[in-house]
A = this chain, B = another copy of it.
Amino acid sequence: MPTETTTPRQRFEALDEQTQARWLVPAEAEFCEHGFEKASLNRIIARAGESKGRTYHYFADKGALFCATLERRVRQCDFLDQVSEAASAPNATGYWLELGALCARLTKMLQGDDRLASLLRTLHRESAAQQSFAEPLAAIRGAIDDLLVAGQSIGAVRDDLPITLLTEVALNLIATVDRWFALNGSTLSEDAEAALSQRAFLLLMAPLLPSQFTEGISL
**Which A residues have a C-beta under 8 Å from some C-beta of B?**
35, 37, 92-93, 96-97, 100, 125-128, 156, 160-162, 164-165, 168-169, 172-173, 176-177, 179-180, 184, 196, 199-200, 202-207, 209, 211, 213-214, 216-219
Measured between beta carbons, the chain B residues less than 8 angstroms from A93 are 217-218
Measured between beta carbons, the chain B residues less than 8 angstroms from A218 are 93, 96-97, 100, 205
Measured between beta carbons, the chain B residues less than 8 angstroms from A177 are 165, 169
Q: Is the CB of A162 within 8 A of B184?
A: yes
Q: Is the CB of B213 within 8 A of A217?
A: yes
State in angstroms the CA–CA spacing of A173 and B165 once bound together: 11
Protomer copies? 2
Q: Is the CB of B196 within 8 A of A161?
A: yes
State in angstroms the CA–CA spacing of A204 and B214 once bound together: 11
Measured between beta carbons, the chain B residues less than 8 angstroms from A179 are 168
Q: Is the CB of A214 within 8 A of B219?
A: no
State in angstroms the CA–CA spacing of A177 and B214 once bound together: 18
Measured between beta carbons, the chain B residues less than 8 angstroms from A165 are 177, 180, 184, 200, 203
